[in-house]
């Protein structure tokens, strides 16, 4: 008898199907991880925006723009000149000077893919939501409403 070397077509097809299933399962997990990383990056940029607004408000307090009679200041993209690294973001931050001398910073930020609103100090990854086509209110009073 002659000895056969190699694989049959059925064996090769079975291996290809198994590899395709493994790639499909692994691929969806990779896309989920990439999406989470993108959300996390957007959230971190929003937190940096709030920090920039707080820094600007501290300077405005020293300059007398924010004081006992004028306790609230709205900062828009023009005011902050926040570096969005070429990304198309719209955002606004509102700073309130409290009676006890602390600053409370709230704000929102929106891109073509995500939006985020901070109404208080409890900001989590779940605050980053996919945009559903509606536009976010572009004035500072929009910080009290969900976009």
The answer for residues whose C-beta is within 8 angstroms of residue 66's C-beta and 6 or more apart is: 57, 60, 72, 73, 95, 97
Annotate 36-102 with DSSP letters as a single string: HHHHHHHHHHHHHHHHHHHHHHHHHHHHTSS-SS--EEEEEHHHH----TT---EEEEEEEE-TTS-
Do the domain assignments include residue 125? yes
Listed in sequence order, the residues at least 6 apart from 22 whose beta carbon sits closer than 8 Å to its beta carbon are none
Statement: the pTM of the whole predicted model exceeds 0.85? no
Find tokens 């600007």 and name the residue.
Answer: 56
The domain in which residue 41 lies consists of 10-144
Whether residue 126 lies inside any domain: the answer is yes
* Domains in the chain, number: 1
pLDDT in tens, the chain (147 residues): 666 777 888 999 999 999 999 988 888 788 888 888 888 888 888 888 888 888 888 888 888 877 777 788 888 877 887 777 777 888 888 888 887 878 888 888 888 888 887 655 455 555 666 665 444 444 565 433 333
pLDDT given at position 113:
82
């Amino acid at each position: 008898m002659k000895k056969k070397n190699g694989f049959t077509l059925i064996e090769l097809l079975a291996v290809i199907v198994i590899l395709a299933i493994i790639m499909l399962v692994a691929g969806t997990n990779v896309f989920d991880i990439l999406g989470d990383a993108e959300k996390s990056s957007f959230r971190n940029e929003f937190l940096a925006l709030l920090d920039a607004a707080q820094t600007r408000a501290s300077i405005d307090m020293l300059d007398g723009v924010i004081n006992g009679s004028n306790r609230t200041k709205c900062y828009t993209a023009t005011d902050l000149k926040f570096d969005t690294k070429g990304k198309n973001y719209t955002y606004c931050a509102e700073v309130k000077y409290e009676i006890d001398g602390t600053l409370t910073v709230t704000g929102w930020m929106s891109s073509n893919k995500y939006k985020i609103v901070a109404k208080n100090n409890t900001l989590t990854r779940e605050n980053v939501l996919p945009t559903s086509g509606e536009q976010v209110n572009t004035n500072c009073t929009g910080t009290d409403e969900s976009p």
